[in-house]
Amino acid sequence: MNENLLTQARAFIAALPASVEMPAGTGKTHLLAAVVTELTALVASDEPPQKNRALVLTHTNAGVHAIRKRLDDFGARATIRVSTITSFAFELARAYPQLGGLEVPGVPNWANSASYIEAATHVSGSGHIRRVLEASFTHLLVDEYQDCTESQHEFVLRLTDAIPAAGVFGDRLQAIFGFADPLVSWSAVETAFPRFDVNWTPWRWKGHNESLGRWLVKVRGLLKAGEVFDFSAAALPDGVRFEYGSQDHRVLPRVAREVGTAEETVLILCGIAPEMVRATAKRLNGQYSAMEEIRGSYMRNQLTVLNATDPIRYGRWLADVAKNCFVGYGDLNPPVLLKLDKGLTVSHLKRDGLSETLTALDLVATKRNLESLAQAMLVLARAKEARLHSHEAWYDMLSAIRSASAVATTPEDSSLGSDSVPLLNHLDMIRNRLRHTGREDRRRIVSRTVLIKGLEYDHVIVANVDQITDACNLYVALSRARKTITVLGSRPQILITPTLTRPRRDRRSLRSCLPRQSTPTSTRSGE
Amino acid sequence: MQIRRIDIENFRGIRHLSWAIPADQKFVALIGPGDSTKSTILTAIHRALTDAWNITFYDTDFFDCNIEEPIRIRVAVGGLTADLMSMDVFGLHLCGITAAGQLTHDPEDRDEPCVVVELTVEKDLEPRWTAYRPGTTGEPHPLKPSLRARFGVFRIDERIDAHLRWSRTSALGRLTEARHGTNQTLAEASRAAREAASGSVSEALTALTREIQAKLQESGSGDFRDLKPGLDLSLNYAQGNLALFEGQVPLMNFGLGSRRLAGAATQQLAYDGKALLLVDEVEHGLEPHRLVHLLTQLRRPQAYAQVFVTTHSPTALLHLDAKELTTTRSSGGITTVKRLDDPAEMQRLLRGWPEAFLARHIVIAEGKTEYGISLQLMETWDRQRAEQQKSPSSALGVVAVEGRGGNQAVKLAQLLLDAGFRITLFADSDVEDVNNKAATVAAAGADVVQWMGSLNTEQAICSELDPAGLTALIDLAIKVAEDPEVAMIAYADHLKDRGAPRIDTVLSVTSWKEAGIEIDRAQEMVAEAAHAKGWFKNVDRGRRLGAFLLSRMELEAGPLRSALAQLEAAVYAPGSTVPTDPAPIKDTIADDRSQS
């Protein structure tokens, strides 16, 4: 840990409670890790003397892993608990259903996160649990605070009743509203956690593209709702370019092919609509893999269909899903599908280059159970007779089906009755695991801004900037790149729109997502 | 930290026990007759809270050897210190316990937070330790040995020797770890043990041993001057062959009492006053003066988190407070425990008759006279029964005590009855208030023996004596007086003051008739004098009076002897006729679920 970082960490510890706002890529998490490392090396004012114990919260499991890794690098892991806000809330709510007023199942259902947060807020308000928290932690640190919903903010405030030495880290320009609950405003954050100013350096671009890093800091002042951001007029740094491309279907595949070497990572960002991701991945012919949202809605839907499907038609289900997740299965056309509908074999049909696929479909048509279905899915993925573009979806469904079939004891049982949902349970387990282990590293990804907060890539391609015009989404999109940014759009002048912070029907939903230099709201300066 | 509630099902002699322990009770002495499951309670606590990885259970550990009904032991520990409240210890498994000792799933603000350890053993004989919370469904949270180690439970029993060696789980091992942090010291020590012949014991261990020596001195274990670690060649296994030596003598060779004290002292050091200590038969192996010293040590507020002892020693009771005593009774597998109430009343009895608290059945004689009579009668009856090969009163667990007057006697009877003792109240019947209270006590299950009519003891006796009998009584009174010559003059005056004829032969009642005094007047006068002047008011005189009552032929068929026969029947009544008292049991055993 260098001297400068240490000095800054110590000053921040002395200033707690406090908040720090830092742009993307300027070492926010690094500073947090330094703060945690430094304070847990100190002895708390306990009797008998004990080291400080820190609770570190963030929003995603990817964030948890990033923080853990930095703590490891600093050699500080003992007495530190790193968790997501929701899983920490789940733990409290699960332990104390009466205090929380909510019966919480043993396995979290993350669709109910908001209720866990509310229950945990009640739990933390109890005098005894406050003692538990006091006994457990001397310091509380929260990363990515701009992503806190108002109720998560409420929960954190309750935690600070027991753990007053609290610090939060965030960047109001990276606040992307993704779910149903409104996000906390940064001025409310600074009321609870007085602003602490730090000097930052655009670390992410060191040794990659430092002029890009400096430019990204500069554009923060330009991304104001109602103003026009001009990709043609602004002095763009090396590596940032605009191309007219949203009308021409050939541009994106070309750019996608040209950008980056085989070893580098490339991110293509679609608009806000979820279905755009798979459609784009398909267009790119399997060169890029579609990122699924954490909840895995696509897989969930497909498995729900499978669950309601007569085992005779398992082959038809497989063909349909394969056509969704692969490019190059056009020959699985109505003659094939109609046979599969009736549970008939298809390998006698002449389809060039699809022999392994057809044999696999035969297996499902003859041995109508989940085990052979899983087997066939694996064959399709390995045969490479078509190009897979939805790896995550395909392998998760494969795993869920395989787990469900392994649980079933007899062949008869492995075809599901209409009222059983083990498939969905297994999928949930797999997706929950993902929350903890992080995604498999794929070099070329198609995704949306809301899914890639906090991640970084060598190259970013904005597939259609016409669909990402609000300040926060655009800033998040641009700030993911270490080396180059390619922006495709119908024209280089973008009218910056306000970022949503709450559901559209809510009239208060529009707020200008402005960097703090020009924020009109009164904020306490970090004296 | 202290135990606030214990529930036991189907463990050894206990089919059911529910015991709520008041928050202020840091020292608990379990008293009760043999087979009242005192030791089983200590064993249950120890097994629930031990940090042993495994404990071997046998079919015989199940109540009635019925392995179909699982063994279930729940121990609720409250008064949790901050380190135990932490989320990685018990912070996410807390229950609440109400002032009345009821458990709630979550600790509401008005309740005290506690952690409930549940040990269950099914017929596979595998013990499972989990955190119990009432009303929870689903998989309970397992409590690993490392978590249970936080309770610092320690039992002093016949296996104390293990704790005088250095091993992972022994008190000495723990102490070393607590002082020097890691297992490193222990490993080094074991290595050193192998070289102990050459005297290479580490500085750390030597320093520690000096500390233990000081503690042992303080605890009264013995006068140790040259305590040091040494190699115990009696054992073959690698660990634990390093033992505590005094000079050339291993501590294991010292007397049992010394070893027990040494074990307790090291545990106290290891847990820095936070240990839960369980001592079965606290007096075991100790001379009275060392027992008294040990009790003083155990009861020092900062010495242990909580101490449970069992005892059969009147010496121990003599030095304890009534509120520290908890009686245990077992009937049909239902064990009931009750803390003694009203310390002031009990305290006096405790100091005067400590042995009574160790009995099953207490005969409360109203005053000194009645007490003396009871003692004499019981002695006589015992002798007669011995000839018929019947059990004497002592074998039946009967102890007579003195009640210090009617009001105190009935009050004591009620208190002791509530505490689970069988009670026989032997009182006279001349005070209406006392009679009423005695009736209440009788209704609550005590045997009450009183004289017919509203008579005090002297009246009851005299009213059945003829002049010769009265004369014999006066003779006896004089004979048992401190100075018979003085008494002879004084007692004559007592009688004359009450209307006896002013004649030289006043002490011979047979001569009163000539002076015109009828027998019933004579009976009244003698009774009045004897009563008012306390002719028999001391235990020894009471005993002599008792012998007198049995010897007088004219009493044979009268109401007095029938009252005494009633007393005899009560004293020797078989235990099974003990009136069971369902109400208090129901009080103690409350269903947790009824709360939620």
Q: What is the pLDDT of residues B79-93, one digit of tens each?
A: 998 889 999 899 999
Q: Which of A128, A138, A159, A161 to mutate to test the interface with B (most CBs of B within 10 A)?
A: A128
Handedness of CA A484, A490, A491, A495 (dihedral sign): negative
Using the predicted structure, report yes or no on whether residue B109 has a pLDDT greater than 80. yes
Among the ranges given (A439-443, B177-181, B239-243), the one the predictor scored with the smallest mean pLDDT: B239-243
Give the SS3 label for residue B295. Answer: helix
Pick the residue of B89, B106, B112 with the most A CBs within 10 A to test the interface with A by mutation: B106
| Cβ distance of A131 and B85 shorter than 8 Å | yes
Intra-chain end-to-end CA distance of chain A, in Å:
26
Residues of A whose CB is below 8 A from B108: 98-99, 126
Query: What is the pLDDT at residue B382?
Result: 94
Which of B87, B96, B108 lies closest to A132 in CB terms?
B87
Touching check for B273 and chain A: CB below 8 Å? no
Q: Cβ of B107 under 8 Å from any chain A Cβ?
A: yes
Contact list, A91 vs chain B (CB under 8 Å)? 92
**More confidently predicted of B395 and A181:** B395
**Alpha-carbon separation of residue B96 from A158, A431, B120, B257, B381 (angstroms):** 21, 36, 21, 39, 54
pLDDT (0 to 100) of residue A66: 84
Give B14-57 pLDDT, tens digit per residue: 999 999 999 889 999 999 887 889 999 999 999 999 988 888 99
pLDDT value of position B540 = 94
Mean pLDDT for the stretch of residues A96-120: 90
Q: What is the average per-residue pLDDT within B130-142?
A: 87
Kind of pairing between the strands at B95-97 and B103-104: antiparallel
Q: Do residue A96 and residue B87 have CB atoms under 8 angstroms apart?
A: no
Q: Which residues of A touch B91 (CB under 8 A)?
A: 132, 135-136
Instruction: Report yes or no: A106 at the B interface, CB cutoff 8 Å.
Output: yes
Segments in B108-239 forming alpha helices (H)? 145-148, 171-180, 184-194, 203-219
- Across B581-595, average pLDDT: 36
Using CA coordinates, name the residue in chain B closest to A127.
B109
Residue B541 pLDDT exceeds 70? yes
Confidence (pLDDT) at A505: 54
What is the mean predicted confidence (pLDDT) over B213-218? 80
Average pLDDT estimate for B477-491:
94
- pLDDT by residue (tens digit) across B519-538? 999 999 999 999 999 999 99
Query: Are B108 and A98 in contact (CB < 8 Å)?
Result: yes
CB contact under 8 A, A132 and B104: no
Q: How confident is the model at residue B580 (pLDDT cuts 50, 70, 90)?
A: very low
Query: Considering only residues 112 to 131 of chain B, which have any Cβ-Cβ distance to chain A shorter than 8 Å?
Result: 113
d(CA B558, CA B555): 5
Chain B closest CA to A249's CA: distance in Å? 55
Most confident of A55-59, A222-226, A512-516: A55-59
Predicted pLDDT at A525: 36
Give the 3-state secondary structure of residue A19. Answer: strand
Of B84, B92, B139, the CB nearest to A95: B92
- Rounded CA-CA distance B261/B267 in Å is 10
Q: Does the structure show a pLDDT above 80 at A435?
A: no
Asked whether the beta carbons of A214 and A17 are under 8 A apart, the reply is no
Is the Cβ pair A128, B91 closer than 8 Å? no
Residue B147: closest CA among B215, B79, B93: B93
When CB atoms are compared, the residue of A81, A128, A134 closest to B94 is A128
| pLDDT recorded at residue A218 | 87
CB-based contact, A91 to chain B, within 8 Å: yes
Q: Does A515 score more than 70 pLDDT? A: no
Q: Is B138 on the interface with A (CB under 8 A)?
A: yes
Q: Which residues of chain A does B178 touch, with a Cβ-Cβ cutoff of 8 Å?
A: none
Q: Examine the pLDDT at A168 and tell me if it is beyond 70.
A: yes
Amino acid at A405: S
Q: What percent of chain B has pLDDT over 70?
A: 89
A98/B92 touch (CB, cutoff 8 Å), yes or no: no
Q: What is the CA radius of gyration of chain A?
A: 25
More confident residue, A419 or A289: A289
Chain B residue with the nearest C-alpha to that of A90: B92
By DSSP bridging, strand A240-244 and strand A166-170 are: unpaired
What average pLDDT is seen over chain B? 85
CB contact under 8 A, B86 and A132: yes
Structure confidence by residue, pLDDT tens digits, B492-502 = 999 999 988 98
How far apart are alpha carbons B478 and B466 in whole angstroms? 18
In this prediction, residues A418-433 reach a mean pLDDT of 76
The whole-angstrom separation of Cα A215 and Cα A224 is 16
Min Cα separation B150/chain A (Å): 15
Q: Is the pLDDT of residue A391 over 90?
A: yes
Q: How confident is the model at residue A416 (pLDDT cuts 50, 70, 90)?
A: very low
Lowest mean pLDDT of A344-358, B262-276, B385-399, B527-541, name the range: B262-276
Contact state of B82 with A134 under an 8 Å Cβ cutoff: yes
Mean predicted confidence (pLDDT) in A425-434: 82
Q: Is A97 in Cβ contact with B106 (below 8 Å)?
A: yes
Residue B107: list chain A partners with CB under 8 A.
99, 126, 128-129
B548: pLDDT strictly greater than 70: yes
Average pLDDT, chain A: 85
Instruction: Provide the percentage of residues in chain A whose pLDDT is more than 70.
Output: 88
CB-facing half-sphere around the CA of A164: CA atoms within 13 A? 3
- Is B93 near chain A, with CB under 8 Å? yes
Per-residue pLDDT, A181: 78
Output DSSP code: residue A505: T
* CB proximity B82 to A under 8 Å: yes
Cβ of B94 within 8 Å of Cβ of A46? The answer is: no
pLDDT at B246 > cutoff 90: no
Contacts A126 to B, Cβ<8 Å: 106-109
Query: Is the omega angle on the peptide bond into residue A48 within 30 degrees of 0, that is, cis?
Result: yes
For chain B, say whether A98 makes contact (Cβ under 8 Å). yes
Percentage of the residues of chain A whose pLDDT score is greater than 90 = 49
User: Terminal CA-to-CA distance of chain B, rounded, Å?
Assistant: 25
A76 vs A481, higher pLDDT: A481
Q: Which DSSP category does B553 fall into?
A: G
How far is residue A492's CA from residue B449's CA, in Å, rounded to a whole number?
112
Q: Do A128 and B83 touch (CB under 8 A)?
A: no
Instruction: Average the pLDDT over A290-310 and give the result.
Output: 90
Query: How many CB atoms within 10 Å of residue A106?
Result: 8
Whether B108 has its CB under 8 Å from any CB of chain A: the answer is: yes
Is the minimum CB–CB distance between A49 and chain B shorter than 8 Å? Answer: no
* Contact criterion met (CB < 8 Å) for B106 and A134: no
Nearest to B82 among A91, A92, A135 (CB): A135
Nearest CA in chain A to B81: A135
Contact A132 B109 (CB under 8 A): no
pLDDT for the residue numbered A507: 44
- Supply A35's token pair: 């703060």
CB-CB under 8 Å, A132 with B91: yes
How far B95 CA lies from chain A's nearest CA (Å)? 9
> How near does any CA of chain B get to the CA of A98, in Å?
6
How far does the CA of residue B83 sit from the closest CA of chain A (Å)? 6
Residue contacts between A and B (CB atoms, under 8 Å): 55
Backbone angles phi, psi at B62, to 5 degrees: -85, 145
Sign of the four-CA dihedral B241, B246, B252, B257 = negative
Q: How close, in Å, is residue B105 to chain A by CA atoms?
A: 7
Whether A101 contacts chain B with CB within 8 A: no
Q: Do A91 and B92 touch (CB under 8 A)?
A: yes
Q: What is the pLDDT of residue B576?
A: 43
How much of chain A is helix, strand and coil, in % rounded to 5?
45, 15, 40
Question: Which has the higher per-residue pLDDT, A501 or B308?
Answer: B308
A95 touches chain B (CB under 8 A): yes
- Does B228 score more than 80 pLDDT? no
The model's pLDDT over B312-331, given as tens digits with 9 standing for 90+, comes to 999 999 999 988 999 999 98
Give me the amino acid identity at A133: L
Q: Which residues of B touch A99 (CB under 8 A)?
A: 106-108
Question: B-chain residues within 8 Å CB-CB of A96?
Answer: 94, 106
A91, A98, A106: residue with CB nearest B105: A98
Could you tell me which residues are beta bridge partners of residue B323?
none
